[in-house]
Amino acid sequence: MEIFFQQIINGLVQGSVYALVALGYTMVYGILGLINFAHGEVVMVGAMLALSALTALIGWGVPPLLALPVSLLLAMAGCMLLGFGIERIAYRPLRHAPRLAPLITAIGVSIVLQNLAMMIWGREYHAFPQLINNQSHHVGGAIINDIQIVIIITALGLMAGLMAIVHRTSLGCAMRAVAENQHAAQLMGVDVNRVISVTFMLGSALAAIAGLMVSANYGLAHYYMGFLLGLKAFTAAVLGGIGNLRGAMLGGLLLGLIESLGAGYIGDLTGGFLGSQYQDVFAFFVLIAVLVFRPSGLLGERLAERA
């Protein structure tokens, strides 16, 4: 039972990490209907920036509790700039191009960012400094530590914050208008380009937060870390219904739980024939099963034709 409870906690933490990244995907998709495949790399850049800033600040003798938020803000600013630039260069000119064209530029942007990061930060893995005493807590026989609690709370908080922005502010109103119909929104006096730019910057700021959280939790950052994370988060976003913020959260948590329970129990369920090496297979099977019955994800809108 303790083991089961621990697996649930593992799944929740892992799922919150996916959700943090998935929120960024879904944010952009909801407005533009475009998968920003480079989002995983923006997360990576965020982690790297935060790490560099943190190391520099600590080196200057800034106390850790001050250095942490400052480097987070720096990373967010850097990522917002990056997100703005990516949209301006790689997506905006293609807004009316065939559907797959922006997909290819996104792949191009991913490759470019990865290799730039390799040139700037080197090929080695960077260890994340252990600054704060990361205390463990025992909850009913299972263990959870401070960073993990912060991750779960941050993911939930950011989702709530984003929903408030989208549904309560005038910016959010403009976003929803652009998502509904760009031309009509423009006629109503919405500055479509500005709204899209802001959306990208918002998504990229989220990526910076996610990057810092991920590297603090696992204790490392590497120029290649964005790829797998981005892929898993994308899966999570689709599972929940891409374009839906609550869906991203739900999909992330669900994927995390499926993975950890799958890894923990596939072996027992199949009598040792299949083991934890099939955890991704298991996750994809669940995804396919969900999509067969609900073709636009768990919480996705039922749009008949929106390719």
Partner 1 sequence: MPNVLKSILTHGHRQRLLFCLLLVAVLLLPFATDALLGRGWVRIVDFAMLYIMLALGLNIVVGYAGLLDLGYIAFFAVGAYCYALTGSPHLAMAYPLLFPDGLHLSFWIVLPLAALLAGGFGVLLGAPTLRLRGDYLAIVTLGFGEIIRIFMNNLNAPVNFTNGPQGISRIDPISVAGVSLNSTQQVMGITLPSVHLYFYLFLAFTLLVVFVSSRLEKSRIGRAWMAIREDEIAASAMGINTRNLKLLAFAMGAMFGGVSGTLFAGFQGFVSPESFSLMESVMVLCMVVLGGMGHIYGVILGGLLLALLPEVLRHSVVPLQQALFGKTLIDPESLRMLLFGVALIVVMLYRPAGLWPSRVRRRELESDEVAR
Partner 2 sequence: MSLRSVSLLLAALFALASCGKSATDQAAGELIVRIGAVAPLTGPQAHLGKDNENGTRMAIDDANAKGITIGGKKVHFELISEDDQADPKTATIVAQKLVDNKVAGVIGHLNSGTTIPAAKIYSDNAIPQISPSATAVSYTKQGFKTAFRVMANDAQQGRALGEYAVKNLGAVKIAIIDDRTAYGQGLADEFIKAARAAGAQIVAHEYTSDKSVDFTAVLTAVKGKQPDLLFYGGMDAQGGPMARQIKALALNVKLMMGDGGYTPEFVKLAGDAAEGAYASLPGVPLDKMPGGKDFSGRFVAKYQPIQLYAPYCYDAVNVMIAAMQKADSADPAKYMPALASLSHQGVTADIQFDGNGDLKGGAVTLYQVKQGKWQVLETVGAAK
**Distance between CA 2 and CA 139 in Å, rounded?**
10
Provide the mask over 91-130, with x wherever binding to partner 1 is found by CB under 8 A and - wherever it is not.
--xx--xxxxxxxxx-xxxxxx-xxx-xx-----------
**Distance between CA 51 and CA 65 in Å, rounded?**
14
**Distance between CA 47 and CA 218 in Å, rounded?**
12
| Smallest distance from partner 1 to CB 71, Å | 25
Provide the mask over 89-108, with x wherever binding to partner 2 is found by CB under 8 A and - wherever it is not.
--------------------
Please tell me what DSSP assigns to residue 272. T
Longest distance between any two alpha carbons in the chain, whole Å: 63
**Interaction between residue 7 and partner 1 (CB under 8 A):** no
Provide the mask over 264-283, with x wherever binding to partner 1 is found by CB under 8 A and - wherever it is not.
--------xx---xx-xx--
* Per rule CB under 8 A, count of chain residues that contact partner 2: 40
CB 243 within 8 A of CB 23: no
List Cα–Cα distances, 21 to 76, 97, 271, in angstroms. Answer: 14, 27, 35
| Smallest distance from partner 1 to CB 176, Å | 20
At 236, the amino acid letter reads: A
Nearest to partner 2 of 77, 131 (CB atom): 131
What residues form DSSP beta bridges with 221?
126
**Interaction between residue 285 and partner 2 (CB under 8 A):** no
Q: Which does 153 bind (CB under 5 to 8 A by kind): partner 2, partner 1, none?
A: none
> In 3D, which of 13, 8, 15 has the Cα closest to residue 265?
8
Q: Which does 102 bind (CB under 5 to 8 A by kind): partner 1, partner 2, none?
A: partner 1
| Smallest distance from partner 2 to CB 24, Å | 19
List Cα–Cα distances, 65 to 76, 130, 133, in angstroms. Answer: 17, 12, 11
Residues found near partner 1 in the complex (CB under 8 A): 29, 35, 89-90, 93-94, 97-105, 107-112, 114-116, 118-119, 231, 234-235, 238, 242, 272-273, 277-278, 280-281, 284-285, 287-288, 291-292, 295-297, 305-307
